[in-house]
Structure 1
Amino acid sequence: MLQKRTITTKGGIFIVSILIVEDEKAIAEGIQLILNNTGYTTWHAETLRMANQILQTQHVDLLLLDISLPDGNGITFAKNLNHPPKIVFISAIDDEQTIVDTFQFGSDDYITKPFRLPILLARVQAIIKRHRLGEQPSLTHLAHLKIDEVNQQVFNGNKEILFTPTEHRLFFYLYHNIGQILTREQLLAYLWDNHGEFVNDNTLTVTLRRVRHKIEQDTVLIETKRGIGYRLLPNEVKI
């Protein structure tokens, strides 16, 4: 079951997605209820197989994971995840070595059953705050473009502009030097020397043309200074 809420705080907007992997229905329902009422998005899986399907198809910030599940061991499952979210183990196993082992491979917390829901919520919120889970990156606006510097993405409206690796490096080099004229020699040196790839003068011309085609609509964003170089304009120029 999926419940979606949005929490607005002084720090911005947070949409945190939490997957609960628990085969005991009463426990899972209690956890899901308190998390949903607090405003988090929750998924529930009764088996590791279901959990794996959700992880492959949905974005998950935090995994609340039981250890003893009908189709396997939660610790083994977590160790085999390629790109695991933050993990909190929830288990009736109160063995010291088991708890130590989970922390040694990178879990964020271990909660022993039985537990009180307000305490679980407090510990979950501490992890969310510590890792700033679900925080939406701030976007910089340039004409019709929205630029996410944290994730190195550029959007035209709500649609991401897909660059080739060379186009991507060229755009962000211009962007990080916005308003400044960069010579062809500077651009070639950056694209080649910093990444070990050979970019010749013709390749630069073609790449600039492609970037312009992708980012410009009825505006000029990359200005050509004949005989000097190029610059990304801080304010668009209407064509």
Structure 2
Amino acid sequence: MADRAAECVEEFREKYPYLAGRPLSERDGQTLRSELVETDRVEEHVQGEREWERGFSVDRVERAESVTWAEGLFRFLTARQPYDDGLGGRFESRYDGETFTVDFDDCWTSSYGDEQAAKNAAFQRQLMGGTYPESEDSARSGEHVEGEWGDVATIMLTRTGSSKPDGERVPPVDHGDRVARTWSQGDVYDVVRNAAEYHLGLESEQWGYVRGDDVHGLDAENPGENACYAVSYTHL
């Protein structure tokens, strides 16, 4: 796995040499996974406030910096290795004491992708009308249902921002965080809600949205300024 991870990182370096050495984040207070942070720690002795109180030692972080984009990619891929054979949990029945194993899914597994696709199809069916898929395990197999809304209009709202707003390239985590925060903290949601309920006269149960995040196109021939950076899609 480490060899495959190294190959992926080298491919990333070749396609995006101007991104590979960028730190993942430079913003104070930004939360990152522990394996993506390099720290220097020092041990300090703290004396008790009173004579009879014993002193103690503390471990203090003197420096904390994020790793580079390329290094972060490598660490993510190698950290994934223990889960390549699947995820599962072993449980014990409280009735007879027998143990059994349950397989888990996460976003790296194909079964997880199939489940999310099925949920999206179900959402569309219940909203706009459609037919349940054929299945021997479903009591509603092949049944047609009318949609919750009869005359549906959809809009896709795309939110992103320049990766070089002031001429200097922004680290990817900081950029993605800014894009995400525009929905709730940047008044975008309030503008959308006011447009739907005030200007269009819709009730709150007559409109809704589904959000998802992705990255800008990874085109090695013409990558563009924002290649590999975050973009957020909101379907209204």
Q: TM-score, normalised by structure 1?
A: 0.21
| Higher RCO (Cα < 8 Å, 6 or more apart) | 2
Structure in which a larger fraction of residues adopt strand: 1
